[in-house]
Amino acid sequence: MDTNGEVFTKIALEIFKVSGLLNAEGDKLTEGLGLSSARWKVMGAIEKSDALVTVSQIARIMGQSRQATQRVTDIMVKDGLLTWLDNPNHKKAKLVNMTEKGKEAYSLLDKKQEVWAEIGAEGIDRDELDKALITLKKMASFLDK
């Protein structure tokens, strides 16, 4: 019988696999919208935030490096998906917001993702999904210390 630590490790390894698969699926879903999984993550972090956010805050939400997030954000600003806003709380750390073009692309992608998620959830009991979410949140909390 595996120890809790061994099962934790097996879950972590499965998460690595799922992460790669999710990125590939995200790239497929974003195809034709001028986006990618990386861009989608940035937009999702902005959309799900209660207030305007900085690149550093987006990076923390996504669990990515600030530098990688900065590169993606800069490109998205050049492509007209995002815009910089002055930050009253910090001279250098600008706030990031979606443009109308970005909001339209995100809305279209959100609709595609909803259909994809319903198909992906087929065959998985709601109780299993709820328990998986609770477990992943506990793991994230441990790792985020």
Number of domains in the chain: 1
CATH (domain of 103): 1.10.10.10
* Residue 32 pLDDT level (bands cut at 50, 70, 90): confident
Rounded to two decimals, the pTM is: 0.84
88-100 tens-digit pLDDT: 988 889 999 999 9
Give the domain range for residue 54: 4-143
The dihedral of CA 45, 47, 51, 54: what is its sign? Answer: positive
